[in-house]
Structure 1
Amino acid sequence: MSAQGGTKAIVAALGANLSIAAAKFVAFLFSGSSSMLAEAVHSVADSGNQGLLLLGGKRAQRAATEEHPFGYGRERYIYGFLVSIVLFSVGGMFAVYEGFEKIKDPHPLDDWYWPVGVLVFSVVAEGFSFRTAMKESNATRGSMSWTEFIRRAKAPELPVVLLEDFGALIGLVLALGGVGLALGTHNGVWDGIGTLCIGTLLIVIALVLAVETKSLLLGESAGAEQVAKIREAAVDGDTVTRVIHMRTQHLGPEELLVAAKIAVRHDDTAAEVAAAIDAAEARIREAVPIARAIYLEPDIYSETAATAGDDPAATPGGPGPAPASH
């Protein structure tokens, strides 16, 4: 994984969740709280998810092969999508089922100090993990809001850990509320309602993760700032006069494919055009280092053809003049 911060946040979350899961299972055995059982399963699911993210990062580092010439960078997206499935099924659906069962057949909590003590410990541990994830995210988030960061980040690990930790903290508050109301009213139904709320929260987070990682799996373009840098770097004003149209796609979080049609002068020789393409590729890689695969096609730009209408192959949101291909 290129971002050491992403790995650091995952390891911190994994350590926190393993210790929390063990403590929650002990508390459930002593108290019989369904909220504690749901939270324990949630922590186990989160631990498995962090293992998946680490495995995906490791497998994504494999070298390109003939069968996969662009490498395995997208494996990180696949494992990120698997995380959403695990969170939905193992975490969310189990908690919803357990909540309904407790509401149908409520029973008072035994040894209440076990779940309360473990929940307070869990809040501290999850808070440390969440703080680590926020700190590492700030290194790459820049001026983006947290919502924009979750939606636009090309590396799936930090958004996944952020959402998991945020969901875990909210879930712990819900569990504390359910346990507290069950103790205060001597009615175990509240414990079941708390568990049901935890399950609903996990399902919502899982769906958000699924939507975002699905977009990455389909193939997202470079960000607007990177696209602008690539366009500017490609043009030298001498041999390469403009970018006619361009496509970019992430092959992985730190691997970008760039394919563009560039305008060259009509009287340039083949050697001059070849040298101009090599120079443009070098400038693009310097401006955007993650641009690993670059394919530039030279063409002659025609002002007459440009007035005929927008090029249907033009980069979305970019300049739309059409090329005149010869």
Structure 2
Amino acid sequence: MVALAANVVIAAAKAVGGLISGSPALLSEAAHSVADSVNEVFLLAAVPRSRRPADARHPFGYGKERYFWSLLAAVGIFVMGGCFAFFQGFEALTRDEQESPTGYTAGLIVLGIALVAEGSSLVRALYQARGERGGAGDPALRTVIAEDSTAVLGVVLAMGGMVLHLVTGNVVWEASASLAIGLLLVFVAFRLGRDARDRLIGESADPELRHRIHELLDGRPEIDNVASLLTMRPGLDSVLVAARGDLAPGIDSEEIDRVCVRIKESVSRKWPQADHVYLDITNAPPPGGV
């Protein structure tokens, strides 16, 4: 919400300043802020939709909605921000007109205000990520942090390009700033899109959690051997665990159901996010058997 409010105001200010000054770098930054604003609307829609309870059609819940909307946000950054910045950079190289120092002064003031606003939004997002449980892994919050970090760097690039353009009279500096902003946005869009793709196609739980679950299962007296352990993250606060193992010698096969219940309860008690636990416990093969 903080990032959206900041970007709507900043986008309008950058657009007005860019049209007055004719600055390609400032117009690139305006497109950047517009893309960020649209993306944050996507992310705001993702949060309540991803929290809907599981139903017959989606038995593992709607947690992956966050990843879908994060993917759309990455596409938005690439199309609306990166491509427009490239266009402004190449178009600036073909211009043969003098810019108004007065207009550029107003543009630099707008960018200075934007730098303060974007920096404040970034600090707020970092504080939220640090304070919330699992905040660092929240795709919506990660996207906001990436957008705000990129916005701060983009504003610095735009200001540098505008100042060098005015000082030297060479538009190449500002065109280079626009192209650099475009490259920056494309890189961020690629990283965010890759992260969203990994989660949408079924990313496993982090290696540390998987190792600890394996240790718990392997340490249970009822289990002789953990043959396999598979994990997947259906959502931000949800982990699916599927394990196959052999029953320890001396335990009656009729105890298997009760053993599974006890193990599931121990896993869920230690890791509440492991809300889907499936165990396949069978009798160990006899020595020398197949």
> What's the TM-score, normalizing by structure 1?
0.82
Other-structure match for 1:161: 144
- For the residue of structure 1 that corresponds to 2:170, the secondary structure is coil
Aligned residues: 288
1:116 to 84, 87, 108: 108
Match of 1:254 among 230, 233, 237: 237
Identity of aligned residues (%): 36
1:171-224 CA distance string (max 9 Å, x none): 111100111012112333432222121111111111111222211112111112
1:240 aligns with 2:186: no
Q: 1:29 to 1:293 in 2, by over 3 A?
A: same
Measure the CA separation in 1 of the matches of 2:237 and 2:96: 51
Determine which of 75, 81, 89 is the counterpart of 2:71. Answer: 81
**Letter of the structure 2 residue corresponding to residue 121 of structure 1:** I
Contact 1:53 1:157 in 2 (8 A): yes
Distance 1:207 1:275 in 2: 48
| C-alpha displacement of 1:241 | 3.6
Distance in structure 1 (CA, Å) of the matches to 2:96 and 2:48: 45
Structure 1 portions without partners, runs of 5+:
1-10, 143-148, 306-323
Measured in 1, the distance between the counterparts of 2:95 and 2:198 equals: 42
Deviation at 1:128, TM superposition (A): 0.7
Which residue pairs with 2:3 in the alignment? 13
- What SS does structure 2 have at the residue aligned with 1:112? helix
Instruction: Indicate the larger mover: 290-299 or 260-269.
Output: 260-269
Partner Cα distance (1:88, 1:243) in 2: 45
Greater Cα offset, 270-279 or 183-192: 183-192
Partner of 1:44: 34
Match of 2:119 in 1: 127
Q: What is the aligned partner in structure 2 of residue 314 from structure 1?
A: none
What amino acid is the match of 2:130?
A: N
- The structural deviation recorded for 1:139 is 3.8
Cα deviation, residue 303, structure 1: 8.5
Distance 1:229 1:96 in 2: 47
Per-residue deviation, 1:246: 0.7
Alignment of 1:191-202 (within 5 A): 191-202=174-185
Q: Which residue of 1 aligns with 2:23?
A: 33
Note the 1:58-73 alignment, pairs <5 A: 58-73=48-63
SS at match of 2:276: strand
SS of the aligned residue for 1:256 comes to strand
2:251 corresponds to 1:268: yes
Quote the residue 1:308 is aligned against: none
The letter for the 2-side match of 1:260 is A
- Cα deviation digits, residues 23-54 of structure 1 (max 9, x gap): 11121132111111111111010011111111
Which residue does 2:187 correspond to in 1?
204
Q: Specify the SS of the correspondent of 2:116.
A: helix
Q: Which amino acid aligns with 1:116?
A: L
Contact 2:256–2:282 under 8 Å retained in 1: no
Which of the numbers 269, 274, 277 marks the counterpart of 2:260?
A: 277
Q: Is residue 108–residue 188 contact of structure 1 (8 Å, CA) maintained in 2?
A: no
Letter in 2 for 1:136: Q
User: What is the aligned counterpart of 1:288 among 271, 280, 290?
Assistant: 271
| Alignment gaps of 5+ in structure 2 | none
- Distance across 2 between alignment mates of 1:269 and 1:90: 64
